[in-house]
Amino acid sequence: GEDVEQSLFLSVREGDSSVINCTYTDSSSTYLYWYKQEPGAGLQLLTYIFSNMDMKQDQRLTVLLNKKDKHLSLRIADTQTGDSAIYFCAEYSSASKIIFGSGTRLSIRP
Amino acid sequence: DTAVSQTPKYLVTQMGNDKSIKCEQNLGHDTMYWYKQDSKKFLKIMFSYNNKELIINETVPNRFSPKSPDKAHLNLHINSLELGDSAVYFCASSRSDRVGYHEQYFGPGTRLTVT
Protein backbone atom coordinates (compact mmCIF):
# COMPACT_ATOMS: atom_id res chain seq x y z
CA GLY A 1 0.00 0.00 0.00
CA GLU A 2 0.89 3.62 -0.11
CA ASP A 3 1.79 5.29 3.15
CA VAL A 4 4.04 8.14 4.18
CA GLU A 5 4.84 8.68 7.84
CA GLN A 6 6.54 11.47 9.70
CA SER A 7 6.64 12.72 13.27
CA LEU A 8 4.15 15.42 14.11
CA PHE A 9 6.31 17.94 15.96
CA LEU A 10 9.88 19.22 16.06
CA SER A 11 11.25 22.05 18.17
CA VAL A 12 14.71 23.50 17.55
CA ARG A 13 16.68 26.47 18.75
CA GLU A 14 17.23 29.33 16.36
CA GLY A 15 20.53 28.90 14.57
CA ASP A 16 20.65 25.13 15.05
CA SER A 17 20.02 22.59 12.31
CA SER A 18 16.59 21.00 11.94
CA VAL A 19 16.26 17.45 10.70
CA ILE A 20 12.83 16.22 9.69
CA ASN A 21 12.48 12.53 8.96
CA CYS A 22 10.03 10.57 6.86
CA THR A 23 9.44 6.97 5.86
CA TYR A 24 7.45 5.74 2.89
CA THR A 25 6.25 2.36 1.71
CA ASP A 26 5.98 2.48 -2.08
CA SER A 27 9.33 1.23 -3.39
CA SER A 28 8.24 2.24 -6.91
CA SER A 29 8.13 5.92 -6.01
CA THR A 30 9.98 7.95 -8.63
CA TYR A 31 10.06 11.30 -6.87
CA LEU A 32 10.05 12.28 -3.23
CA TYR A 33 9.22 15.78 -2.08
CA TRP A 34 9.33 18.23 0.74
CA TYR A 35 6.56 20.81 0.84
CA LYS A 36 6.30 23.72 3.26
CA GLN A 37 3.00 25.11 4.53
CA GLU A 38 3.00 28.38 6.44
CA PRO A 39 -0.03 29.30 8.56
CA GLY A 40 -3.06 30.10 6.45
CA ALA A 41 -1.24 29.43 3.21
CA GLY A 42 -1.06 26.76 0.56
CA LEU A 43 1.70 24.23 0.09
CA GLN A 44 4.95 25.39 -1.40
CA LEU A 45 7.24 22.89 -3.09
CA LEU A 46 10.58 23.28 -1.31
CA THR A 47 12.62 20.64 -3.01
CA TYR A 48 12.41 17.16 -4.47
CA ILE A 49 14.72 14.28 -5.16
CA PHE A 50 14.63 11.68 -7.87
CA SER A 51 14.65 8.13 -6.60
CA ASN A 52 18.04 7.30 -8.12
CA MET A 53 19.77 10.02 -6.10
CA ASP A 54 21.11 9.80 -2.55
CA MET A 55 21.43 13.45 -1.74
CA LYS A 56 20.41 16.85 -2.98
CA GLN A 57 21.57 20.17 -1.60
CA ASP A 58 19.96 23.52 -2.22
CA GLN A 59 21.34 26.42 -0.15
CA ARG A 60 20.33 25.70 3.47
CA LEU A 61 18.38 22.58 2.55
CA THR A 62 19.84 19.08 2.31
CA VAL A 63 17.73 16.11 1.33
CA LEU A 64 18.98 12.61 2.05
CA LEU A 65 17.36 9.52 0.56
CA ASN A 66 17.98 5.99 1.76
CA LYS A 67 16.10 3.95 -0.78
CA LYS A 68 16.90 0.65 0.90
CA ASP A 69 15.24 1.74 4.15
CA LYS A 70 12.68 3.94 2.35
CA HIS A 71 13.77 6.85 4.50
CA LEU A 72 13.85 10.49 3.49
CA SER A 73 15.13 13.40 5.54
CA LEU A 74 15.24 17.16 5.24
CA ARG A 75 17.97 19.10 6.98
CA ILE A 76 17.60 22.85 7.36
CA ALA A 77 20.86 24.48 8.33
CA ASP A 78 20.94 27.61 10.52
CA THR A 79 17.21 27.44 11.26
CA GLN A 80 15.52 30.84 11.33
CA THR A 81 12.16 32.00 12.71
CA GLY A 82 10.88 32.20 9.15
CA ASP A 83 11.33 28.45 8.89
CA SER A 84 8.44 27.90 11.30
CA ALA A 85 5.87 25.96 9.31
CA ILE A 86 4.49 22.51 8.68
CA TYR A 87 6.72 20.40 6.47
CA PHE A 88 5.13 17.66 4.41
CA CYS A 89 7.00 14.70 3.05
CA ALA A 90 5.40 13.23 -0.07
CA GLU A 91 6.00 10.59 -2.71
CA TYR A 92 4.94 10.29 -6.32
CA SER A 93 3.46 6.85 -6.15
CA SER A 94 3.12 4.07 -8.70
CA ALA A 95 -0.56 5.07 -8.95
CA SER A 96 0.50 8.39 -10.54
CA LYS A 97 -0.55 10.53 -7.62
CA ILE A 98 1.21 12.32 -4.80
CA ILE A 99 0.79 10.77 -1.36
CA PHE A 100 1.43 13.14 1.52
CA GLY A 101 2.59 12.46 5.04
CA SER A 102 0.78 13.98 7.99
CA GLY A 103 3.18 16.90 8.22
CA THR A 104 5.77 17.87 10.83
CA ARG A 105 5.17 21.12 12.64
CA LEU A 106 8.53 22.86 13.10
CA SER A 107 8.72 25.43 15.85
CA ILE A 108 11.72 27.62 16.54
CA ARG A 109 12.68 28.70 20.02
CA PRO A 110 14.94 31.67 20.70
CA ASP B 1 0.93 37.34 -11.27
CA THR B 2 -0.83 34.73 -9.16
CA ALA B 3 -0.05 31.23 -10.39
CA VAL B 4 -2.91 29.17 -8.93
CA SER B 5 -5.83 31.10 -7.50
CA GLN B 6 -8.95 29.97 -5.70
CA THR B 7 -12.17 31.71 -4.80
CA PRO B 8 -13.49 32.17 -2.26
CA LYS B 9 -10.78 32.05 0.38
CA TYR B 10 -13.33 31.46 3.13
CA LEU B 11 -16.76 29.90 2.85
CA VAL B 12 -19.17 29.52 5.74
CA THR B 13 -22.47 27.83 5.03
CA GLN B 14 -25.17 25.71 6.58
CA MET B 15 -25.72 22.00 6.30
CA GLY B 16 -27.74 20.99 3.28
CA ASN B 17 -26.65 23.90 1.11
CA ASP B 18 -24.93 23.60 -2.27
CA LYS B 19 -21.71 25.55 -2.87
CA SER B 20 -18.96 25.89 -5.45
CA ILE B 21 -15.26 26.65 -5.22
CA LYS B 22 -13.42 27.96 -8.25
CA CYS B 23 -9.82 27.44 -9.28
CA GLU B 24 -7.80 29.02 -12.05
CA GLN B 25 -4.16 28.64 -13.04
CA ASN B 26 -2.15 30.83 -15.39
CA LEU B 27 0.89 28.55 -15.59
CA GLY B 28 -0.11 26.92 -18.86
CA HIS B 29 -0.46 23.57 -17.12
CA ASP B 30 -2.78 20.92 -18.51
CA THR B 31 -3.44 18.94 -15.33
CA MET B 32 -5.33 20.17 -12.29
CA TYR B 33 -6.19 18.65 -8.93
CA TRP B 34 -8.39 19.05 -5.89
CA TYR B 35 -7.10 18.10 -2.45
CA LYS B 36 -8.83 18.08 0.93
CA GLN B 37 -6.94 18.96 4.12
CA ASP B 38 -8.71 18.04 7.33
CA SER B 39 -8.38 19.64 10.76
CA LYS B 40 -5.36 17.47 11.55
CA LYS B 41 -3.61 18.78 8.43
CA PHE B 42 -3.89 15.43 6.68
CA LEU B 43 -3.91 16.12 2.93
CA LYS B 44 -5.50 13.77 0.44
CA ILE B 45 -6.17 13.94 -3.27
CA MET B 46 -9.80 14.00 -4.37
CA PHE B 47 -9.74 14.48 -8.14
CA SER B 48 -7.36 15.03 -11.02
CA TYR B 49 -8.17 16.36 -14.48
CA ASN B 50 -5.95 16.30 -17.55
CA ASN B 51 -7.02 18.39 -20.54
CA LYS B 52 -10.53 18.62 -19.10
CA GLU B 53 -10.78 14.86 -18.65
CA LEU B 54 -11.13 13.17 -15.27
CA ILE B 55 -8.13 10.89 -14.61
CA ILE B 56 -8.16 10.38 -10.84
CA ASN B 57 -11.29 10.05 -8.77
CA GLU B 58 -10.57 8.90 -5.25
CA THR B 59 -13.26 7.55 -2.98
CA VAL B 60 -15.18 10.78 -2.75
CA PRO B 61 -18.97 11.02 -2.18
CA ASN B 62 -20.83 11.78 -5.38
CA ARG B 63 -22.07 14.98 -3.72
CA PHE B 64 -18.73 16.34 -4.91
CA SER B 65 -18.64 17.08 -8.62
CA PRO B 66 -15.63 18.63 -10.30
CA LYS B 67 -16.05 20.53 -13.55
CA SER B 68 -13.32 21.64 -15.91
CA PRO B 69 -14.58 24.09 -18.54
CA ASP B 70 -11.07 24.44 -19.96
CA LYS B 71 -7.48 23.51 -19.13
CA ALA B 72 -6.98 26.57 -16.95
CA HIS B 73 -10.01 26.06 -14.71
CA LEU B 74 -11.20 23.34 -12.37
CA ASN B 75 -14.21 24.05 -10.21
CA LEU B 76 -15.58 21.97 -7.37
CA HIS B 77 -19.29 21.84 -6.70
CA ILE B 78 -20.56 20.31 -3.48
CA ASN B 79 -24.20 19.36 -2.98
CA SER B 80 -26.03 18.85 0.30
CA LEU B 81 -23.12 19.97 2.46
CA GLU B 82 -22.44 18.02 5.65
CA LEU B 83 -20.56 18.91 8.82
CA GLY B 84 -17.79 16.51 7.83
CA ASP B 85 -17.13 18.49 4.66
CA SER B 86 -15.56 21.23 6.77
CA ALA B 87 -11.93 21.38 5.70
CA VAL B 88 -9.48 23.37 3.64
CA TYR B 89 -9.70 22.53 -0.05
CA PHE B 90 -6.61 23.06 -2.17
CA CYS B 91 -6.43 23.26 -5.91
CA ALA B 92 -3.14 22.39 -7.63
CA SER B 93 -1.82 22.15 -11.17
CA SER B 94 1.04 20.57 -13.06
CA ARG B 95 2.25 19.79 -16.54
CA SER B 96 1.72 16.31 -17.93
CA ASP B 97 4.92 16.01 -19.96
CA ARG B 98 7.62 13.61 -18.81
CA VAL B 99 9.67 16.38 -17.22
CA GLY B 100 7.08 18.46 -15.39
CA TYR B 101 4.34 15.95 -14.64
CA HIS B 102 5.24 15.51 -11.01
CA GLU B 103 5.75 19.13 -9.91
CA GLN B 104 2.50 20.38 -8.51
CA TYR B 105 1.81 24.00 -7.68
CA PHE B 106 -0.80 24.69 -5.03
CA GLY B 107 -3.34 27.42 -4.62
CA PRO B 108 -3.81 29.25 -1.30
CA GLY B 109 -6.74 27.08 -0.22
CA THR B 110 -10.43 27.61 0.50
CA ARG B 111 -11.47 27.13 4.11
CA LEU B 112 -14.97 25.66 4.11
CA THR B 113 -16.91 25.69 7.36
CA VAL B 114 -20.26 23.93 7.49
CA THR B 115 -22.48 24.82 10.45
Question: Which pLDDT band holds residue A1 (cuts at 50, 70, 90)?
Answer: low
Q: Name the average pLDDT for chain A.
A: 92
B104: chain A residues, CB-CB within 8 Å:
45, 98
A86–B106 CB contact, under 8 Å: no
Higher pLDDT, B15 or B41: B15
Q: How far apart are CA B31 and CA B71, in angstroms?
A: 7
A43–B90 CB contact, under 8 Å: yes
* CB-count exposure of residue A59 (10 Å: 0-12, 13-18, 19+): exposed
* pLDDT score of A7 more than 60: yes
Q: Is B54 on the interface with A (CB under 8 A)?
A: no
Average pLDDT on A39-51 reads: 90
| pLDDT score, position B114 | 97
Q: Is B40 on the interface with A (CB under 8 A)?
A: yes
Per-residue pLDDT of A61-102, as tens digits, reads 999 999 999 999 999 999 999 999 999 999 988 777 889 999
Average pLDDT on A4-21 reads: 96
- Tell me the shortest Cα–Cα distance from B89 to chain A, in angstroms: 10
Nearest to B93 by CA among B83, B102, B84: B102
- Tell me the shortest Cα–Cα distance from A8 to chain B, in angstroms: 10
Which of A41, A98, A102 has its CB closest to that of B41? A102
Q: Is B25 on the interface with A (CB under 8 A)?
A: no
| pLDDT score, position A97 | 84
| pLDDT score, position B98 | 72
Instruction: Determine contact, residues A36/A82, Cβ cutoff 8 Å.
Output: no
Average pLDDT on B73-93 reads: 96
| pLDDT score, position B103 | 85
| pLDDT score, position B102 | 77
- Residue of chain B whose Cα is closest to the Cα of A86: B41
Cβ contacts of B97 within 8 Å, gap of 6 or more: none
Residue B32: in which H helix or E strand, if any?
Answer: strand B31-37
Q: What 3-state DSSP class applies to A83?
A: helix
Instruction: Determine contact, residues B74/B91, Cβ cutoff 8 Å.
Output: yes
Per-residue pLDDT of B34-72, as tens digits, reads 999 998 888 999 999 988 888 888 878 999 999 999 999
* pLDDT score of B96 more than 90: no
Q: Name the average pLDDT for chain B.
A: 91
